[in-house]
Structure 1
């Protein structure tokens, strides 16, 4: 067979050969705490408003949607102004089908063959995956850790790595996935200064869950044309099924993204649903405090069981202390509880859910640890930034 063809006889790109498709298990189990979705359904009033808004555009589906999604950009800009206190204009906002497509647009515009992206592992695995899909070389940076946080990323360490790599794109996560930890803004500023040729992307998918006093990188946009802050409606807004991600950046960035997006990439249905949802932001975000309470219960409850949770600013907790995290994952699944094996030895990631789901999670952990403590608990945590199978981490 020709070397240009893979084992199936297809001329698949050589860099894609041998790879497996990305995705978390979608299993029908009583307690699903593996993908950081909200466990709360849309409030009835919001569901009705979204249904009405979508129904209103259905008769016009014979026409293409608004290519520049003006009404949605207005609504997103208004929400950012309200939630961050920063004056964000509609032409400084971009949106797409989930924040993953937003990230793809950024890499299509600012990455590509001959260019390099830098991220700090462990972090969100779609960053290197989307980089690879756009032909962008990926460099795995590290998190040196600290006595209080094994996955800490300091400004000095991040800046030193950025200077050494001289990347075209840098990814920072705040709060970080899978560790749940937020970044100090001095890290953002230091990386922006140390990587003078790079677009610096701060992924704030979980920003609404951060502990009080945690600032947003949106506050750093003024005067920094290369800084981008991405967000999503999938998590705090309980809108994962609608697929709506967005970013805030200088208007020059959003103008560049028009060069790479597919025509009419946001459907009329998506635009209408998102605008209606944003009009009910307070109702959609009403469960955030409840989820934060359950997150903190998971931290306290797992610590009481002798495990080592990482303090979290997200809607999930990374829990260490498992001698065999794979065995623990399977044992929890046998108890009807699905968590996330992120491929980081000694750790499992657990989404914050309803009080009943937290009860079930902690009860299952108690049973699992009591049954197989010698096989599952007591191992050494993996060193920060080392040995992480980052491709197994997902939102």
Structure 2
């Protein structure tokens, strides 16, 4: 393919990549504020270390495993020729048709891998060894993330022309690749690590709600790069994704707060921040394939269901510390499945291919029948099972070799001081 640089699209994609990278420090504030004083630095370090580890792994081998030519049963690409990402022709870029250089596209995709790994850390707060977390990060991004991303986005078994589904499955910006993937992995690690000391008997209240609100704000800001940037062009489809990223979280806040008010009698700032994230998660896979009404429906359902889902850990006895399962797995499933109900590909989106008749991919409520819903469900189920099982195996291997969990003494006295030799606040002991 002949490559013709589009400076406007390229400039937008550089900005979008920076926005998505900013989401990981934003997540550090969001998660950091939700834990207790004695764990905040460890929690934030898990996010920052994800940048450190995944950025290196991505340029060395991760990109090639994700976007290299399909060669391993539709699960991984062939990394040959992509090691180090040096001297790559722009014509090889998946965004070459939009005039975006190869390296810009590769950097943008790196930020997705980084945030996916960081999301998992919320399920292991207060009790996982930092060295084990680093080791897990390296293995997981190579074995699990690159596989799911290749299968869905890189021309693998679950992608646009999947033989496993009646129609082409839709995941515009990462409902399966990022959120369902991270949520299932978080559940596996939470089960392996077991309950925190005092779980279900004493409150684990957020130590700093302004941190949580700031983190949610940064995440929302960065998410415009996440969703609108996934178009790889500054066009009307990016505009649709941008608008939906405004609308869905806004109404998700409302849904979450209504549940809180009815259930608990109070509408909380933690609920508002969590509602933002739930709406952002749910609209991610559908950002460019639903109209405004569809985005509002997805956001409202996500806000309500995620608010209800965060209590499941107490009912079923698993300790998902910061509700990665309740928000990211459930929210990702809501958005992915509701595409099968409210997708409106007749609106004029371009990403499915110029001139292609996309109406058979419309959701059930837009005249498309059940095929798209079935396709979305198949892909979601496969990703949940694959991510959960493989993560469980990785975690079990680490548990038997280097150990996963800090000692009870460290957990009680504070993981920050034991693992990092410092505390977040002068008065913290």
Q: TM-score, normalised by structure 1?
A: 0.29
Q: Choose between structure 1 and 2: higher helix proportion.
A: 2
Higher strand share: 1
